[in-house]
Amino acid sequence: MLATVIRSEPDRFSAAAHTYPLAALDRIGSVVTARSGETLFHAGDEARHYFKVKTGTVRTCKLLAGGKRHIGAFFLEGDYLGLDADDTYGCSAEAVTDAELIKYSRSAVGRMVDQHPGLRRRLIDLVSAELSGAQTQMMLLGRKTAVERLASFLLAMAERQGGGDHISLPMTRTDIADHLGLSTETVSRTFTEIKIKGFIRLVGLDGVTVRNRAALEDLADAASA
Amino acid sequence: MLATVIRSEPDRFSAAAHTYPLAALDRIGSVVTARSGETLFHAGDEARHYFKVKTGTVRTCKLLAGGKRHIGAFFLEGDYLGLDADDTYGCSAEAVTDAELIKYSRSAVGRMVDQHPGLRRRLIDLVSAELSGAQTQMMLLGRKTAVERLASFLLAMAERQGGGDHISLPMTRTDIADHLGLSTETVSRTFTEIKIKGFIRLVGLDGVTVRNRAALEDLADAASA
DNA sequence: CGGGGCGTTGAAAAGCGTCAACCCTTGTGG
DNA sequence: CCACAAGGGTTGACGCTTTTCAACGCCCCG
């Protein structure tokens, strides 16, 4: 729902004749690996590649003069990144965990897309979907309270991880804070608050179990007013 | 800089051989008009068209359950909208002023793009640029203070209106507030604050003159910390 | 002349950030 | 095997920015 959810094959079912499987791109891709914390590319670097996450988690971030950081999105298995960028990347990309990615040369993708109109559509859909996610995230950042933000985030992560009740959160509280426009302390307090209400259970360091999805959805959709 | 600035011809100079003028699309477009406040399309409507603003100003907005509103972007002359949207529009679009737009059928654009690879690149650039703007706006919403937000907004508007010192603001304070994630009162107070510092002058209801651009840029880039 | 929308200003309240202390886990080296 | 340090997470107290509620002024238009 929230945030830049770009799956590798967003529509197993709508793959009509006019489309062309994105997986076909893999032929022109090569695998790269990154250790946790490593930078894949910096904001401002010349944008020569697209990437797809094969395993692990990646974040894109921007820095402000005052040292403040914002994480635009987290990229999980199957998500594409580097789609923004005219000629240079707009955000840095860093591995949240050890990760494997598939790297595609932009020029090769361009040539391939020219040959396969269906692929063009898929690529545009991919960017459009990411834009749509960015708009949802803007709404979250501009108008939601801390509880609403965290509830939205958890539901989105649950959705992206298959829709089950168990959520894995490979990123730190600080990462979550920088993604939701909050401080780590507020993120932590808000986790506790939702936990005390009985809506979630914290499992170890990076696990969350949803115990009352409906209640969480109410929180996410802004009960204020 | 900030926010979804999509010009009709973003690169008069880089129009190399591999590109194809976006203006060529106008052949397949038809003109529509909208009165101030009128809705062009609703969030969730089936997305059948792209639009380009010919005259006037348009806003895209999303609503939250609590009645809270967020304006994703303002579209000025030459800007394209409707680029997000898989099959349905993600945001509603409303005329801020009386406006004329050019409406392009998405399917016709698709066919035309298939015939002209250069046009494909331009279209992808357009969406990528909007995505890049959205990321800048997320940074603003997540991490900037009221003064930083308004200064960033004014500078971006100045840039989009030719880079001169006079800015026209056709939208209301409430619109600006909903775009910057603030209340109208805070927007108003912040205008006053910047005005008292001598960085801008308010001209009538919808005009602003920049009197000290460097100072405004310092404010925008987060002097905090 | 009156009403309504928009903008500004003030005072009080709330939400969140900041500073600080503390806990827990992990990994390292004696 | 244990001690210790470092990083991440939680919690508390306090303060600041922004919101909220309210009143008022302005301008346009009926």
pLDDT tens-place string over residues A131-143: 999 999 999 999 9
Residue A22's identity, in one-letter code, is L
Distance (Å, whole) CA B109 – CA A80:
25
Strand C contacted by A186 CB (< 7 A): yes
| Residue for token pair 């303002």 | B74
Q: Do A90 and B120 touch (CB under 8 A)?
A: no
Strand D contacted by A207 CB (< 7 A): no
Strand D contacted by B147 CB (< 7 A): yes
Banded pLDDT at A222 (limits 50, 70, 90): low
Q: Show the tokens assigned to B35.
A: 């009165």
Q: Looking at the structure, do residues A116 and A212 belong to the same domain, yes or no?
A: no
Q: Do B127 and A124 touch (CB under 8 A)?
A: yes
Q: Looking at the structure, do residues B26 and B89 belong to the same domain, yes or no?
A: yes
Q: Is the pLDDT of residue A165 over 90?
A: yes
Distance (Å, whole) CA B116 – CA B98:
34
Q: Looking at the structure, do residues A33 and A127 belong to the same domain, yes or no?
A: yes
- Report yes or no on B70 lying in a domain: yes
Q: Looking at the structure, do residues B41 and B113 belong to the same domain, yes or no?
A: yes
Q: Looking at the structure, do residues A84 and A189 belong to the same domain, yes or no?
A: no
The predicted model gives A144-157 an average pLDDT of: 98
- B72 CB burial (10 A radius; 0-12, 13-18, 19+): buried
Residue-by-residue pLDDT tens, chain B, 225 positions: 434 455 444 444 444 444 567 778 888 899 999 999 999 999 999 999 999 999 999 999 999 988 899 999 999 999 999 988 778 999 999 999 999 999 999 999 988 888 888 888 888 888 888 999 999 999 999 999 999 999 999 999 999 999 999 999 999 999 999 999 999 999 999 999 999 999 999 998 899 999 999 999 999 986 433
CB contacts of A128 in chain B (<8 Å) are 83-86, 127
- Report yes or no on A16 lying in a domain: no
**What would the pLDDT profile of A33-66 be if each residue is shown by its tens digit?**
999 999 999 999 999 999 999 999 999 999 998 8
Q: Which of A79, A105, A140 is the last residue of a domain?
A: A140
Helix (H) or strand (E) holding A102: strand A99-105
3-state secondary structure of B154: helix
Q: What are the strands of the beta sheet with B80-81, ordered from one edge? A: B29-34, B99-105, B49-55, B80-81
- Report yes or no on A1 lying in a domain: no
CATH of the domain at A119: 2.60.120.10
Q: Is the pLDDT of residue A217 over 70?
A: yes
**How many Cα atoms sit within 13 Å of A149 on the Cβ side?**
25
CB contacts of A141 in chain B (<8 Å) are 138, 141-142, 181
Q: What is the pLDDT of residue B222?
A: 65
Q: Do A142 and B144 touch (CB under 8 A)?
A: no
Strand D contacted by B188 CB (< 7 A): no
Q: Is the pLDDT of residue A11 over 70?
A: no
Q: How many angstroms separate the CA of A203 from the C1' of D8?
A: 15
Q: Which of B97, B112, B140 is the last residue of a domain?
A: B140
Q: Are the CB atoms for A161 and A170 separated by under 8 Å?
A: no
Q: Looking at the structure, do residues B128 and B194 belong to the same domain, yes or no?
A: no
Residues 114-153 of B with CB under 7 A from strand C: none
Q: Looking at the structure, do residues B54 and B111 belong to the same domain, yes or no?
A: yes
Banded pLDDT at A118 (limits 50, 70, 90): confident
Q: Looking at the structure, do residues B106 and B159 belong to the same domain, yes or no?
A: no
The predicted model gives A186-210 an average pLDDT of: 95
Question: Taking the mean position of all CA atoms in its chain, how far away is CA A203?
Answer: 22
Strand C contacted by B97 CB (< 7 A): no
Q: What is the pLDDT of residue A19?
A: 52
Banded pLDDT at A30 (limits 50, 70, 90): very high
Strand D contacted by A184 CB (< 7 A): yes
Strand D contacted by B185 CB (< 7 A): yes
Q: What pTM did the predictor assign?
A: 0.90
- Report yes or no on B106 lying in a domain: yes
* Shortest alpha-carbon distance between residue B79 and chain A (Å): 16
Question: Which of A121, A142, A221 lies nearest to residue B70, judging by beta carbons?
Answer: A142
Nucleotide nearest to B171 (CA to C1'): C6
- Report yes or no on A4 lying in a domain: no
Q: How many angstroms separate the CA of A143 from the C1' of D20?
A: 15
Q: Looking at the structure, do residues B32 and B113 belong to the same domain, yes or no?
A: yes
Q: Looking at the structure, do residues A150 and A105 belong to the same domain, yes or no?
A: no
**What would the pLDDT profile of B104-147 be if each residue is shown by its tens digit?**
999 999 888 888 888 888 888 888 889 999 999 999 999 999 99
Show Cβ contacts of residue B53 under 8 Å, excluding neighbours closer than 6 positions: B75, B76, B77, B78, B79, B80, B81, B99, B100, B101
State which nucleotides on strand D lie below 7 Å from a protein beta carbon.
Answer: 8-13, 17-22
Q: Do B131 and A130 touch (CB under 8 A)?
A: yes
Strand D contacted by A168 CB (< 7 A): no
- Report yes or no on B17 lying in a domain: no
Q: Which of A140, A169, A199 is the last residue of a domain?
A: A140
Question: Which of B64, B120, B128 lies nearest to residue A85, judging by beta carbons?
Answer: B128
Q: Output phi, psi for B184, to 5 deg.
A: -60, -40
Domain containing A178: what range? Answer: 144-224
- Report yes or no on A73 lying in a domain: yes
Q: How many angstroms separate the CA of A185 from the C1' of C22?
A: 14
Q: Looking at the structure, do residues B215 and B118 belong to the same domain, yes or no?
A: no
Q: Output phi, psi for A157, to 5 deg.
A: -65, -40
Q: How many angstroms separate the CA of B57 from the C1' of C5?
A: 20
Q: Do B143 and A84 touch (CB under 8 A)?
A: no
The predicted model gives A179-205 an average pLDDT of: 96
State which nucleotides on strand C lie below 7 Å from a protein beta carbon.
Answer: 6-11, 15-20
Q: How many angstroms separate the CA of B120 from the C1' of C28?
A: 56
- Report yes or no on A197 lying in a domain: yes
- Give the closest residue to D11 (Cα–C1′): A189
Overall number of domains in chain A: 2
Q: How many angstroms separate the CA of B27 from the C1' of D26?
A: 46
Q: What is the pLDDT of residue A89?
A: 94
Q: Looking at the structure, do residues B136 and B148 belong to the same domain, yes or no?
A: no
